[in-house]
Amino acid sequence: MENITGSAVVAGNYLDTRKFLVDELRKLVLRHSVVVEAPRRFGKTSVIKEFVRQEHEKGDESRFQILFLELEGVETLDQFCLKLYQQLITLYDVKRYGEWLKTVLSSSWNAVASRVPSIGLPEFELELREITRDFDFTTWKERLSPLIAGSNRLGKDVVIVFDEFPDMLQNFAGGAEPLGFVKATDVLTAWLRSIRQEYQDSAQCHFVFCGSVNLRKTLEEAGLGKRMNDTETLRVPPMLIDEARALLQGLATSYNIMLEPAALEFMVAKTANGPPYYGQVLIKAVRDSRRCEIYFQLLQGIYDNMLRNGDHDLNHFDSRLNTYIPSQQELESTRAILRTLCNDDWHERELYDVVIADSRLAYATYQKVVDRLIYEGYLKRDVDSAGKLSFLSPLLRDWWACKAGVR
C-alpha cells in the first residue's frame, strides 16, 4: 500500500473496508443520477475513480461507459460546455456512427472527421475552440443534447462524472462568467435537471456530481435549494476505529515501519472519525522522521512537530474560511467557535450565549455558521455526548489548537 497524500487512491491503495462505497455507487447509477457527499479529503473522488478502474478492468464485459470531467479551474459556462462536448464526442466511433455524427455535429463535423487520431490532443481542442467560439448557452445545448440522447445507441449505461462541480459553480462568481453566479448556476443546473427528468425511466445516461464544496448548500445560496432533489445521495463516512487501524498498519508495513502497540493506538485515536487523509498525513510525518521503530514517546514528538511545521494540506482548513465565510463578523465568530471547542465540547445554544452573543451575530446566522462548519468537515454534533458540538477528529482539533495558540 502506497502512502498517497492529496490525490485519489485506487486499486491496492484503496482500503478494502471502503469498497462497499464503490458497490453502492455502481448500484445507484444504474437507475439514478447521484450526488457524492462528504467534506474535503474524505475520498469522494477515490470512490469514483475506483469505480472507473474496476469497470475499465472488465473491458467489453463492463455494462458502463464512463466519462470523467475534472472541473477544477473551470470558470465559465462556455468552458464547461466545451469540455463536455469534447468528452461526449469520444463516446462514438466515427467509422461506425459517421453519418449520424455528421448530422449531429453540424459545423464541427469537419474538424472531427479529419482529426480522429487527434481527439483529446491540444491541437484538436484549439480547432474545436475556434469553431465554437461564438456559441452562447442556447447553441451549446442544441449541440450537446443530441450527443447525450444518442447514448442509447451505444448499448451501454453511460455515466458522466462531474468532479468539482460545486467548486465550478462558485467559480462563476469570479467575474469571468458573463451571467454571474446565480444566473449561470440556474440555467446550467436547470438544463441538467431537464436531462435527468427526460431519462429518469431509462438507464441510458446518468450523472455523478461531487466536489470539495457542498453542492446542496451552494445551490441554496443561489436560491435553488430544490434543484437536485431528483438525485440519490451517496455519503462517504469518516473512518471507523478499525478502518483507521487497518490503514495505519497497512501503510506502516509497506514502508517497513514497526509501530509499538501504544504508538499505534495513539495514531488510531487521533485519526479515527476523520478521513483517510489524516492517517496518510500522520504516516508521512513518521516516514519523514527516518526512524523505523516508532515507540510512544518518539511518536508524541513527531506528532507535535507535524502539527506545527505546516508540511501538509491541513492549512486549507484555515484558508478556506476566508474564501467561504461571507462577512467579517461571521468569520470572527467562526474562529471564536473553533478556538473555544479546542478546549472542550459545548452544547450549541450554550456556546452561542457564552461566546458569540456579545458580537451581536443573530442566532439564525450563528446556526448557519455552525452548519457550514459541520458540512465542511470541521465539526460534528456528537451523538455520544448529547449532541454537543465537537471537532470531527482529534487530529484536526489538535492542529487548530496550535493554529489558534491554545496548545
Domains in the chain: how many in total? 3
- Answer yes or no: do 123 and 95 share one domain: yes
pLDDT tens-digit readout, 21-30: 999 999 999 9
Q: Which domain holds residue 55?
A: 11-235
Domain boundary at 286, 311, 336, which?
311
Is the per-residue pLDDT at 328 higher than 80?
Answer: yes
Average pLDDT over residues 357-363: 94
Average pLDDT over residues 108-118: 50
Dig out the grid coordinates for 240 from the structure: 471507523
Q: What is the reported pLDDT for 2? A: 67
Average pLDDT over residues 161-167: 94
- Domain closes at, from 311, 339, 356: 311
- 230 plus 247 within the same structural domain: no
Q: Answer yes or no: do 158 and 253 share one domain.
A: no
Do 246 and 360 lie in one domain? The reply is no
> Quick one: pLDDT at residue 104?
64
The predicted model gives 180-208 an average pLDDT of 88
Q: What's the mean pLDDT in 70-90?
A: 92
- Rg (alpha carbons) of the chain, rounded to whole number: 24
The C-alpha atoms of residue 20 and residue 22 are separated, in whole angstroms, by 5
CATH number for position 218? 3.40.50.300
pLDDT beyond 80 at 72 = yes
Q: Are residues 203 and 56 in the same domain?
A: yes
Mean pLDDT of 277-290: 91
Which one is predicted more confidently, 106 or 170?
Answer: 170
Residues 55, 92 within the same domain = yes
Average pLDDT over the chain reads 87
Residue 396: which CATH number? 1.10.10.10
pLDDT value at 115 more than 50: no
C-alpha cell at 134: 461564438
Reported as a pLDDT band with limits 50, 70 and 90, residue 406 is confident
Q: How far is CA 151 from CA 148, 208, 399, in A?
A: 6, 16, 48
- Contact status, residue 184 vs residue 170, Cβ threshold 8 Å: no
Residue 342 shares a structural domain with residue 297 = no
| pLDDT for position 116 | 46
Per-residue model confidence (pLDDT) at position 117: 44
Least confident of 200-209, 278-287, 361-370: 200-209
Pair 17, 120 in one domain = yes
Same domain, 219 and 248: no
Residue with more model confidence, 104 or 78: 78
Contact call for residues 270 and 283 (beta carbons, < 8 A): no
Cα separation of 23 and 38, whole Å?
17
The predicted model gives 271-275 an average pLDDT of 89
335 pLDDT band (50/70/90 cuts)? very high
Q: Residues 74-90: what's their mean pLDDT?
A: 92
In this prediction, residue 3 carries a pLDDT of 59
For residue 388, give the H/E element and its range. Answer: strand 388-391
Q: Is the pLDDT of residue 81 over 60?
A: yes
313 or 350, which is more confident? 350
The predicted model gives 180-193 an average pLDDT of: 96
**Residue 349 grid coordinates:** 445554544
What's the pLDDT score for residue 50? 93
What's the predicted TM-score (pTM) here? 0.85
Compute the CA torsion angle 348, 353, 359, 362 (nearest 10 deg). 60
